């Protein structure tokens, strides 16, 4: 590694007083201690040594390796760390917090994998270079000593790979991925996160070993998929994800979108369209100062909004193709797949609802919707309305400039109508004109199912006709109740 680069990394490490003090403590006790992995990689990136693709070392998220055994690490941290945790101690990792900085300190390892389970047979090692050999990629197999010499160790050419924008494994890619199949999803993530391109050997190994992802728990898979989607530009990574067959194991509904819509190749395939919608949604999200960014719900919805199309495709006369009710089928598929990947209930339901609603705008025509229809659009979207706006706009990917301009103008008009009605009626909090207590008092009924039915009836009236005067609402309630009870 060039002396200037080594000096840059040393200086970045010295910016952290915690690392300096940690190094002094371990060195005084006669142990090696090194900063490793992503921290060193990002330090190099932040220094501009690899084209400026990185964001710098992330304080509070630092990985350290040492030849000290876990029990010795705990002894050294006593009186130094404000807290420690040993949930990973079986794998040689001790967690600690020092002055607000979180550290993971792991003993050198020389693991062996049985390639049937997802966990290694942990074995302690005595060599830093051997420890680095078991890292996932060369760009993560660099270390800088926290001892006084601050030596930078790069035995597998990680810096050269960063400079070249290359993603390689320290050893044979097939061995690395067979040991831990999750590394294949990390490769996908690093394409998006670091702008790296995997070498042919890595792509070939990912392709041949993709079925091995079945050994990995859904929770771990979901974390990597989410990290990929949350990057600024995940498209190339997702293309690798699909091309290598990893998506067939993790998200087969995405792979299924690669279909020619008709035999004449006149219509865009749904897969390319979905990636374009994702690109556009990210651009709208990042341009909105009031939006959450990165927004996992919006990005999942943009990627998956059309996954109901393969199951609903029908060839019609004159070469036309239809996908009737694909939003209904798609919402069910989204819910099933995201639940299988252990996403939270909130994420699952939000993405499914956006998928279900993404086509409704196309019934707006040239503004023929009544105020009632606009109210229902807003109410059905609820707090997802800002995301729905972005999804619908992103979904208009036609290359016909006149049609694109017309769709944009029409949606502008819908948003103006929503704003006008919202200002007049507070659509974000539409409620019936009578609450549950008033319903029970007027009808003389106790709490129960009938109160809920009456509440829903009054809410439907509110959406249909706008706010009602109290006496009008009461009259409507009594009329509904009389019809229901046969009085």
Tens digit of pLDDT for each residue in 311-325?
A: 998 888 877 888 999
Segment 271-290, tens digit of pLDDT: 999 999 999 999 999 999 98
Position 395 pLDDT exceeds 50 = yes
Segment 433-485, tens digit of pLDDT: 888 899 999 999 999 899 999 988 888 888 788 888 889 989 999 999 998 88
Segment 214-225, tens digit of pLDDT: 999 999 999 999
33/252 Cα distance (integer angstroms): 43
Segment 72-106, tens digit of pLDDT: 999 999 999 999 999 989 889 999 999 999 999 99
Section 122-146 average pLDDT? 93
Position 7 pLDDT exceeds 90 = no
Helices (H), 244-308: 246-250, 252-255, 270-287, 296-304
* Percentage of the residues of the chain whose pLDDT score is greater than 70: 90
- Locate the domains of the chain by residue range: 1-164, 172-250, 252-429, 436-485
Q: What is the mean pLDDT of the chain?
A: 89
CA dihedral 145, 147, 148, 153 (to 10 degrees): -20
> What class, spelled out in words, does domain 1-164 have in CATH?
alpha beta
Q: Does 1.10.3470 match the CATH number of domain 252-429?
A: no
Return the pLDDT at 158.
Answer: 94
Return the pLDDT at 115.
Answer: 59
Most confidently modeled range among 121-130, 158-167, 463-472: 158-167
Position 262 pLDDT exceeds 60 = no
Domain 172-250: CATH architecture, name and number where available: Orthogonal Bundle (1.10)
**Distances from the Cα of 360 to the Cαs of 199, 376, 380, 400, in angstroms?**
44, 11, 11, 21
**Among 45-54, 280-289, 290-299, where is mean pLDDT lowest?**
45-54
Position 414 pLDDT exceeds 50 = yes
Joined together, the tokens standing for residue 181 give 């199949």
Position 153 pLDDT exceeds 60 = yes
């Amino acid at each position: 590694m060039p002396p200037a680069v080594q000096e840059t990394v040393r200086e970045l490490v010295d910016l952290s007083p915690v690392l300096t003090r940690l190094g002094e403590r371990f060195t005084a006790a006669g142990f090696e201690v090194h900063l490793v992995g992503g921290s060193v990689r990002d330090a190099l990136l932040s220094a501009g040594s690899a084209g400026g693709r990185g964001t710098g070392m992330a304080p509070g998220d630092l990985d350290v390796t040492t030849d000290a055994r876990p029990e010795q690490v705990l002894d050294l941290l006593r009186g130094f760390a404000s807290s420690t945790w040993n949930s990973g101690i079986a794998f040689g990792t001790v967690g600690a917090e020092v002055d607000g900085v979180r550290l993971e300190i792991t003993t050198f390892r020389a693991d062996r994998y049985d390639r049937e389970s997802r966990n290694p047979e942990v074995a302690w090692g005595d060599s830093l270079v051997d420890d680095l050999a078991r890292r996932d990629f060369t760009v993560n197999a660099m270390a800088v000593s926290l001892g006084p010499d601050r030596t930078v160790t790069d035995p597998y050419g990680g810096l050269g790979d960063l400079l070249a924008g290359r993603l390689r494994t320290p050893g044979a890619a097939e061995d690395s991925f067979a040991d831990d199949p999750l590394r294949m999803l990390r490769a996908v993530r690093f394409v998006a996160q670091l702008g790296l391109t995997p070498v042919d050997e890595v792509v070939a190994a990912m392709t041949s070993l993709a079925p091995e992802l079945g050994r990995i728990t859904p929770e771990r898979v979901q974390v990597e998929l989410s990290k990929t989607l949350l990057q600024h530009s995940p498209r190339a990574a997702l293309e690798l994800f699909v091309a290598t067959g990893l998506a067939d194991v993790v998200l087969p509904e995405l792979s299924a979108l690669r279909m020619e819509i008709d035999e004449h190749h006149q219509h865009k395939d749904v897969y390319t369209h979905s990636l374009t919608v994702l690109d556009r949604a990210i651009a709208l999200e990042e341009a909105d100062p009031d939006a959450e960014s990165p927004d996992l719900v919006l990005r999942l919805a943009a990627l998956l909004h059309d996954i109901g199309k393969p199951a609903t495709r029908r060839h019609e006369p004159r070469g036309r193709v239809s996908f009737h009710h694909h939003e209904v089928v798609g919402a069910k598929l989204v819910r099933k797949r995201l639940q299988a990947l252990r996403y939270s209930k909130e994420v699952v339901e939000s993405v499914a609802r956006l998928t279900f609603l993404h086509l409704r705008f196309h019934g707006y025509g040239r503004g023929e919707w009544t105020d009632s229809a606009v109210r229902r659009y807003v109410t059905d979207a609820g707090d997802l309305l800002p995301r729905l706006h972005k999804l619908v706009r992103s979904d208009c990917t036609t290359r016909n400039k006149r049609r694109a301009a017309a769709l944009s103008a029409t949606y502008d008009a819908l948003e103006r109508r929503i704003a006008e009605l919202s200002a007049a009626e507070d659509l974000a909090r539409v409620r019936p004109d009578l609450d549950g207590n008033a319903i029970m008092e007027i009808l003389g009924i106790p709490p129960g199912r009938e109160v809920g039915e009456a509440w829903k009836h009054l809410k439907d009236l509110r959406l249909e006709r706008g706010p009602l005067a109290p006496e009008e609402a009461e009259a409507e309630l009594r009329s509904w109740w009389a019809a229901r009870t046969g009085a």
